[in-house]
A and B are shown apart, each in its own frame.
Chain A
Amino acid sequence: MPIKSETITIKINDKKIKVPKGTSIYKAAALSQIKIPSLCYHPDLKANAACGLCIVKIKGMNKVVRSCATEAQEGMEIITHDKELYETRKTVIELILSNHPDDCLFCQRNQNCELQRLASEFGVRESRFNKRLKEIQKDISTTSLIIDPQKCVNCGRCVEVCQNVQDVWAVEFIGRGFDMSIAPAGNLKLNNSPCIKCGQCSAHCPVGAIVEKDEVETVISALMDKNLYPVAQIAPAVRVSFGEAFKFDSGDVITKKLYALLRKIGFKAVFDTNFSADLTIMEEANEFVRRFKKNPESLPLVTSCCPAWVDYLEKYFPDMIDHFSTAKSPHEMMGVLSKTYFPKIKKIDPSRIFMVSIMPCTAKKYEITRSDEMFASGYQDIDVVLTTRELVRMTKSAGIDFDNIEEEESDLILGSYTGAGTIFGATGGVMEAALRTAYNLLTGEDLPNVDFKDVRGLEGIKEAEIDINGTKIKVAIAHGIGNVKDVLERVKIAKINNHEIPWHFIEVMACRGGCVGGGGQPYGVTDEVRKKRTDGIYTDDKKQVFRCSHQNPYIVKLYEDFLGEPNSKKAHQLLHTKYKARPLYMK
């Protein structure tokens, strides 16, 4: 809640400005339209004060200070730019470059890299200093992320996000001085560390030191392969972020342009993960209602559509596995349908289907081989996951003029969705969608007003209570995996002491804001961007004729034609999964 805060008056480059007390000099400068050069600071994170570029002078102080980590004080007179500061910053950039490979042309961050941008802005035209690189091998142990310590500028953002935001502690600095380097926990391989592949490190890294495993070429080859039948699906959160790489703003809903794009790229059919999100709700809401009515001690039910969260729970809280919804995540449900139902009606050989998921997420790359159930169709249900960022690169290499592309429709029936499916992309969305359908299941009626505003927004843990014909259903929503511990703790304590459980239904998303802030989304995410993307999601929801999953006529049809009932045997076989305790560390 915005409390009326004290303001202070300071001078920045001789211009007076009022800012709220507690504002850093860096932010205060931004408020007066001055961008102080920086490399280690990220607005999501606590300032680490490492790079030394954001230095400014303060009248009356003999030392320069780091603006990112220094609070503005009443009456301060600050100089952000002068010759000396310029020269110092430029030398520091040159020094950083002397410890960094000149690999831009071969780098995933080319044209999208904070260090490259600084070098370009400061007009660094020669390398005055000798190259002195770290001699540490890349870590390619996971199927989601690649760590290249040689490119790391030791900014500390990944450490901060992984330890203090996500509370996973998969990465840490090891060594010190010139040899200090980023490394997975215990100096093991990333895959043997607690890493949950959420990719928040990659989303926050200013350079190409932690990047998603690039699968663009695999997809291009598949598209060229005459024997294959390539199909694609787009996740809810991609439609509100992808456009940022083109002329669109965060939150502009460009779903139909994306369908068109994927066809132009060469996919033979384009589905929408929103459809399978509706399906997930059918399965999960039924599961919830069943547990709620018949097996209340098995509550709370916890959502399981975020694979990073699944990994976290399997590693850190295996004793809570029974609370997990067994429903697969939407894109996995789509995967299995694309290789069972779809080839059946299309009369093609399922082995020819090549399924590509376009996701905001790096953990989905891991998820597709997570367990045997991910092969329920008899094949690997999803062949490749591309992140939003990878699709941007692919679009550009394919030379498609996305700005002016004509809208198209998705392929029915796996491409039709309701508002409930689309809101999966934002924190609280899965819960809201589930409640819309659970209400119907419990009462036989549809909600007059489907908007559950309490479950929306960026607060780390949200709680709500829903009255369904006199039955109170209590729910909690956590996003940013670091918030989960508090929620689980309360559940555990209640259960140990035989108290009433605090909530019946819990939604967890590993990324702050949910998938709109996913680890595979376009760079530069801040809360402002998260909000815009979220707004886009809810706009899309509002626009839909049907806003509850069970109202989706094609979902109804799918059950009639193929799956039978929600939670039926067939549904279980294809749409549900199992969980098991996994080691937190492996040697």
Chain B
Amino acid sequence: MEDNNLNYIENAIFEGVEDIKLSEELMEHIEKWKDKPGNLIMILHRVQQIFGYIPLNVAVKIAKELNIHLAKIYGVITFYHFFKTEKPGRHKISICMGTACYLKGAEKISDELQELLGIEIGQTTKDGLFTLETVRCIGCCGLAPVMTIDDEVYGNLKPEDIAGIISKYTNIKTGV
């Protein structure tokens, strides 16, 4: 157990990390747990519930509130699969890189998607709309190359189809 009578993280400088004001409800939760030993995981649960992941600036806030080190928080976050460090996009695009899809040009589809969305595999677009990832054979080889967006399967893809498909999802957001 650490005992820090001196709260020396509270005043530390975290450069480049935007200060965030946490909701009253979350602050209350932190306050409730603050003095209980072993509180970190219970607090992270609530953060994950609210944000869908643990943003860096919230982690920093917690470090200051609890007077614990960021190293400790990240050690814990990355150990437990429940906690995420990246915000997942609203829609998950999975490009199949199984053999059939690969042979039928999945790479071109993947390149097109990366270019259109301006992100790499494993990343999420700035607007938080899409997360891009690759998967192994999803069992629709007959439709190769294949991608899925959330639960929807798109097959027989050509690079030129991608923009149209993507716009269906962006329109949902921008439309009234």
Contacts and interface: CB of A to CB of B under 8 A. Distances in A.
Chains A and B directly touch (beta carbon < 8 Å): yes
Contact of B71 (A186, A485, A581, A583): A186
A321 interface: no
Contacts of A402: none
Interface stretch (A173-181, A278-286, A326-334): A173-181
A425 B12 CA distance: 31
A555 interface: no
Contacts of B70: 169, 185-186, 585
Nearest to A193: B71
Interface in A168-225: 169-176, 183-187, 193-194
A184 B74 CA distance: 10
A114 B15 CA distance: 38
Nearest to A177: B79
B125 to A, nearest CB: 20
A32 interface: no
B27 interface: no
Interface stretch (A70-78, A144-152, A312-320): A312-320
Contact of A172 (B11, B17, B72): B72
A369 interface: no
A582 B74 contact: no
A488 interface: yes
A585 B73 CA distance: 14
A492 B6 CA distance: 9
Contacts of B5: 489
Contact of B6 (A170, A318, A485): A485
11 contacts: A170-B71, A174-B74, A174-B79, A186-B59, A186-B73, A194-B69, A489-B5, A489-B6, A583-B14, A585-B60, A586-B14
A584 interface: yes
A185 B71 contact: yes
A142 to B, nearest CB: 16
A481 to B, nearest CB: 13
Nearest to A581: B13
Contacts, number: 79
B56 A186 contact: yes
Contacts of B59: 186
A351 interface: no
B49 interface: no
Interface string B53-81: 00010011000000001111111001100
Ranked 5 nearest A-B pairs via Cβ: A587-B16, A185-B71, A169-B69, A583-B15, A584-B12
B74 A187 contact: yes
Interface residues of A, number: 32
A586 B15 contact: yes
B9 A173 contact: no
A585 B74 CA distance: 13
A582 B13 contact: yes
A212 B38 CA distance: 36
Interface string A553-587: 00000000000000000000000000001111111
B8 interface: yes
A98 interface: no
Contacts of B79: 174-176
Interface of A: 163, 169-176, 183-187, 193-194, 315-319, 485, 488-489, 492, 581-587
A585 B75 contact: no
A316 B63 CA distance: 14
A34 to B, nearest CB: 35
A171 B71 contact: yes
Given A176-B79, A186-B74, A585 B6 contact: no
A193 B15 CA distance: 11
A587 to B, nearest CB: 3
B56 A587 contact: yes
Contacts of A584: 9, 12-14
Contact of A585 (B8, B11, B12, B72): B12
Contacts of A488: 6
Given A187-B85, A318-B13, A581-B13, 15 more contacts: A169-B71, A173-B75, A174-B75, A174-B78, A176-B78, A185-B71, A193-B71, A194-B69, A318-B11, A485-B8, A489-B5, A492-B6, A583-B15, A584-B12, A585-B12
A399 B69 CA distance: 47
Nearest to B6: A489
A155 B16 CA distance: 32
B15 A587 contact: yes
Nearest to B85: A187
